[in-house]
Chain A
Amino acid sequence: MSEAGQPPKISMRNVKKSFGTKKVLNGIDLDVEKGESCVIIGGSGTGKSVTLKCVLGLIRPDSGSIKIDGSEVTEMDNDDRDEVMSKFGMLFQGGALFDSLPVWENVAFGLIHGRKMDREEAHEIALQKIEAVGMGRQVGSLYPAELSGGMQKRIGLARAIAGNPEIIFFDEPTTGLDPIMADVINDLIAKCVKDLGATALSITHDMASARKIADKITMIHEGKLIWTGSVKELDNSGNEYVDQFIHGRAEGPITKHANMA
């Protein structure tokens, strides 16, 4: 519990998920406080995206509890679920822009269809959000396929923040970008989260990105969170898994276990 007895913004307890016989999440416990920026690090295919999708309600966990603002979301019916969804913004790994719609309508999509806003008004807000992520208003009339990878990520970011969400999720926001564009995106994320006063849950395997946007870092390995701490503590974590990961060494406990499995 944080100050004044407020429940954590996001709280996961013993969340498990398997696909067929493959155990992906094996008891995830995580609290993210209001206004905090938490980053989950970990190797590819370790279940980072699955964790995020469980919180978002896109994947139903096999067991365990997930609470948003103190209310259980795993058992919710559709109407309550929509209500919770409206608090969320999500930047997908591949952007996930709707390629049949122009850029501005992508950004305005949740406003028009989710919040029933007037199209003209939503158009104007969309253009402002496009400017807020450092692009010109004229980009609004292009189609997603006409944009470069970095531009698509920025539009994905604009779409995620368009509804002024209370909680924003970032799925590998810098993967596939050059280091400079990655830094631009990191700055944008840090700025957007601060401007909105939002709570953020991000996943990445890019350590530069993690250090820049995180208040709290936690590492996932074999379906569990094995270490949690602040960015400062990261370099002296005393955890050999974390050490191997942040230094990107081929030799170490992570790969030893993987080879044995």
Chain B
Amino acid sequence: MSFFATVGQFSAFAGLSVSHVFRGPFFPKNFSKQIVSIGYYSLPVVGLTTFFTGMVLALQSYTGFTRFNAESAIASVVALSITRELAPVLAGLMVAGRVGASIAAEIGTMRVTEQIDALRTLSVNPFKYLVVPRLIAGTLTLPILVLIGDLIGIMGGYIVSVHVLGFSAGSYLSQSWDVLQPIDVISGLAKAAVFGFIVTIMGCYHGFNSGRGAQGVGAATTNAVVTSSILILVFNYILTQVFFS
């Protein structure tokens, strides 16, 4: 299919999905299940990525800034890069790999085995039953994941700064606290919400339009991860421009 036809088809899908967000009936059980599988089970991977990223940032900025005023620079570099850019982007990419893939595979399998058709013959709208709970869960839980990632990332920087480089614990914390403005954290959380939406809508879209057979589902899964990862990076740039220029 041509690029423009695909964009058109996707826009129609996204528009229809969003319109169902505001019209019941809702499926609270599906929603809570998705909160757990998208949010809770992503905690370890998001925690680990931001933790090591915070640590490596502290180490790099020490070698980079050592001639200047390393002690205060490390805390600022870690706090700002983590909250503004790295926690949302890394969490988004990790969730794209973990959640986007599993959504596309699950919905794609349901498409291929006619379970989506079966929903419709039982008078249940598949957008309301499958898409809406995932969209809302993704959009709401990713900011929470990123907020936790912010804290863990800053803690990673703290551990390197205090226990590896031997700087003072108190000044690291006060420096972090002083340099951070509300907009730094809020912009990161807003990005996270957008990324959560991107990952879940891409997973649902590719699953819904999965080709036939195991091969179709495999392709849908790959496409969901690749397109949502690229869109996350594109929208990250756009949102940074919106917030900080």
Contact = CB atoms under 8 A, between A and B. Distances in A.
Interface stretch (A29-37, A106-114, A252-260): A106-114
Interface stretch (A91-99, A176-184, A185-193): A91-99
Contact of A85 (B113, B114, B123, B129): B123
Interface string B107-150: 00010011101101111110001000000000000000000000
Interface string A79-104: 00010011011101110111100000
A113 B122 contact: yes
Contacts of A86: 123
B128 to A, nearest CB: 9
A58 B120 CA distance: 8
A158 B27 CA distance: 24
Interface string B1-33: 000000000000000000000000101000000
B109 to A, nearest CB: 8
Contacts of B120: 56-58, 85
A96 B123 contact: no
A196 to B, nearest CB: 16
A53 interface: yes
Interface in A52-75: 53, 56-58
A98 B116 CA distance: 9
Interface residues of B, number: 15
A159 B122 CA distance: 9
Contacts of B113: 94, 96
Contact of A90 (B25, B121, B125, B129): B121
A210 to B, nearest CB: 22
Interface in A151-171: 159, 163
A141 B126 CA distance: 24
A114 to B, nearest CB: 3
Nearest to A156: B118
Interface residues of A, number: 25
A113 B110 CA distance: 18
A52 B113 CA distance: 16
A115 to B, nearest CB: 8
B115 A98 contact: yes
Nearest to B112: A94
B124 A96 contact: no
Contacts of B121: 56, 58, 85, 88-90, 110
Nearest to A88: B121
B91 to A, nearest CB: 26
Interface in B177-221: none
Contacts of B27: 113
Contact of A114 (B110, B117, B122): B122
A98 B118 contact: yes
B112 to A, nearest CB: 9
Contacts of A85: 120-123
Interface string A107-134: 0011001110000000000000000000
Given A94-B113, A96-B113, A113 B118 contact: no
B213 to A, nearest CB: 12
A99 B129 CA distance: 15
B117 to A, nearest CB: 5
Contacts of B125: 78
Contact of A96 (B25, B118, B129): B118
Interface in B154-173: none
A167 to B, nearest CB: 11
A96 B122 contact: no
Nearest to B118: A96
Interface of B: 25, 27, 110, 113-115, 117-118, 120-125, 129
Given A89-B121, A97-B118, A113-B124, 20 more contacts: A56-B120, A58-B121, A78-B125, A85-B120, A85-B121, A90-B117, A90-B118, A90-B121, A92-B118, A93-B114, A94-B113, A96-B114, A97-B115, A98-B118, A99-B115, A110-B121, A110-B122, A110-B123, A113-B123, A115-B123
17 contacts: A56-B117, A58-B120, A82-B123, A85-B121, A85-B122, A90-B117, A92-B118, A96-B113, A96-B118, A97-B115, A98-B115, A99-B115, A109-B122, A109-B124, A113-B129, A115-B123, A159-B122
